[in-house]
Structure 1
Amino acid sequence: MLLEQPGDAIGCRGSCPDFPPGFSMPPASLPPNEVERLIVLRSYDVLDTACEASFNDIAKLAVILSECPIALVSLVDADRQCFKGRQGLDVDETPREVSFCAHAILHPGEVLMVPDATLDPRFRDNPLIAEIGLRFYAGVPLVNAEGIALGTLCVIDRVPRRLNETQQEALRYLAGTVVTTLELRRTMHKVRQAALTDTLTGIANRPALLNALHRAIALQQRDGPPFSLVYLDLDGFKRINDLHGHATGDEVLRQVAATLSDCARHSDMAARLGGDEFAVLLAGQDAAPAAGRIRQQVEAEMERHGWPVTASVGAVSFRDAPADVEEALSAADELMYGAKFAGKNRVLHREFASRPRAHRAA
């Protein structure tokens, strides 16, 4: 079906265009399923990433088939639209409030075609008309198998015009190709996440931690920010398994993982390394106070459940970059065992430098 209205704009930015201050234009209303729509959109993990060759190729085909100079693969986020593919416009995103695509997604399954945006009272004040000379717009919503409109494949011209039926049908086929490509990306993302997730606790696993640690070291070696590593081994965990069974032991591990996740910031990574060993990779944070808080939180959570479990913790602040992942893990592992031998339920911390400083208990 074709939904024809006089007006509808795109989004753009190479950097975003400089819109005149105080411009007045009513934004599109929100879809009734907006909250669900945004959750699904972000599950594809494609926002805030660069344009990709596959989507750029689709945009090029859209230009050829529509005979329009501009084509965009646009994903409509909460307050912006991001371009995953583009042809004829060197921009990455625009505010949602000036987006024609934000109107197009209100009608999944319909092509929104605007022969002349300057004739539509809703869009005639749109700053994109002056910024890029936008006059014509046609957008096909990108609708996934769940019926969620993620954005559009749209074409734009700087003169008033229309698309014929053949051109509209071609855009529909290309929009389907975009959705198929996005679905493949989401499936790959899920597989990758599963491979890097501990199945019992739901936090990162050892390979994920090693990958993140490798990146942190490489970044610091290029004069990047410092990082810290906190290494935990549970005290009394074997006794829980012996007395209460492995089901209770598994619940202990899940609760420890949840505690570590609560202690970690968005930029940190909590991981289960195996058995009852855990680690937290801290970005740009001193390990000593963080490790102390983590130990205390683990102890408090275990007491709350009546489990006699604590944590021995080794913590290293890497002011200088270690040579590799093995050196970083060895430094934290050595301190963790030192905490075990010193009486358990404590933190040993040091700063990693060319000449290591003395250990101190926390």
Structure 2
Amino acid sequence: MLTPDQWVLDESEGSVPLAKWQKTIDVMARVFNAPAGFIVQYAPEGFQVVISSGQASNPYDAGVTVPQDTNLFCKKVVEQQELLYVPDASTDPYWNTNPEVSDDGFCSYLGLPVKWPTGEPFGTICVMDFNATNYQKDYVDLVSELRDLIEADLKILSRYQMISNLAMTDELTGLYNRRGFYSVAQQYIALAKRSKLSLGLLYMDMDGLKRVNDV
């Protein structure tokens, strides 16, 4: 099950709608006529680009991870949990140590926080430009609407995982039931075949449980 301390790019079941998110960010970047747009995830290890707009001008690919202590625009958004719009970073000394500004040449940033269904910070959705900008309210509203779509997808994913977990585990013990065992076993068998590894199965038969089960 996907949790806030896990990178969504490491999720192996393919339930995260990455292709949909990619289209969303590509459209956002085109509407803004911006060289880069992103969905960035926050985790204890730092900040990871989940989705990166597809222009050749974009210096960051999906999967790039930046340490948590780096002075980033997205870090500020996660810390404050509110909109951050920097029309021209060159006029604010605070951003001089931001590698996006000092190394990559970005000048403008517009980003909003994205949250997990639990309310914990997921990360950000943002658009960046090498030139100073003057975005009006309609542009901010557009990013806000796109952010809401991402959060809605995370809620759907969370509910799906909850229902799936209920269907495959025993309510009392939390252990896999028959359906869960076969589902997980099939995944491991497929992985073993691809990796040419051996699998082993250990099982135990415990006596005297009828009295416990009948309680």
The residue type equivalent to 2:155 in the other structure is E
The answer to whether residue 85 in structure 2 is matched with residue 86 in structure 1 is no
Among candidates 32, 46, 56, match of residue 66 of structure 1: 32
- Structure 1 stretches of 4+ with a deviation exceeding 6 A read none
After TM superposition, the structure 1 = structure 2 runs for residues 1-362 of structure 1, keeping only pairs within 5 Å, are 41-42=4-5, 46=8, 48-49=10-11, 52-87=18-53, 88=55, 89=58, 90-95=61-66, 96-98=68-70, 99-108=72-81, 110-143=82-115, 147-238=119-210, 240=211, 246-247=214-215
SS of residue matched to 1:227: coil
- Aligned equivalents of 1:94 and 1:219: distance in 2? 27
CA RMSD of aligned residues (A): 2.6
- Aligned equivalents of 2:45 and 2:205: distance in 1? 44
- Aligned equivalents of 1:196 and 1:246: distance in 2? 22
Structure 1 residues 190 and 163: alpha-carbon distance in aligned structure 2, compared to 1, 3 A threshold: same
Which runs of no fewer than 5 residues in structure 1 stay unpaired?
A: 1-38, 248-362
- Aligned equivalents of 1:183 and 1:162: distance in 2? 33
Bigger-Rg structure (1/2): 1
Question: Residue by residue, what CA displacement relative to the aligned partner does 1:35-82 show, whole Å, maximum 9, x if unpaired?
Answer: xxxx97348x83524871111121122213322121111121112222
TM superposition score normalised by structure 2: 0.81
Structure 1 residues 211 and 75: alpha-carbon distance in aligned structure 2, compared to 1, 3 A threshold: same
In percent, how many aligned pairs have the same letter? 24
Question: Residue by residue, what CA displacement relative to the aligned partner does 1:252-283 show, whole Å, maximum 9, x if unpaired?
Answer: xxxxxxxxxxxxxxxxxxxxxxxxxxxxxxxx
Using CA pairs under 8 Å that are at least 6 residues apart, name the structure with larger relative contact order, 1 or 2: 2
Number of aligned residue pairs: 203
- Aligned equivalents of 2:133 and 2:17: distance in 1? 28
Which runs of no fewer than 5 residues in structure 2 stay unpaired?
A: none
- Aligned equivalents of 1:143 and 1:223: distance in 2? 36
- Aligned equivalents of 2:203 and 2:97: distance in 1? 58
- Aligned equivalents of 2:170 and 2:118: distance in 1? 28
TM superposition score normalised by structure 1: 0.50
Structure 1 residues 94 and 217: alpha-carbon distance in aligned structure 2, compared to 1, 3 A threshold: closer
Structure 1 residues 221 and 147: alpha-carbon distance in aligned structure 2, compared to 1, 3 A threshold: closer
- Aligned equivalents of 2:85 and 2:196: distance in 1? 49
- Aligned equivalents of 2:106 and 2:143: distance in 1? 19
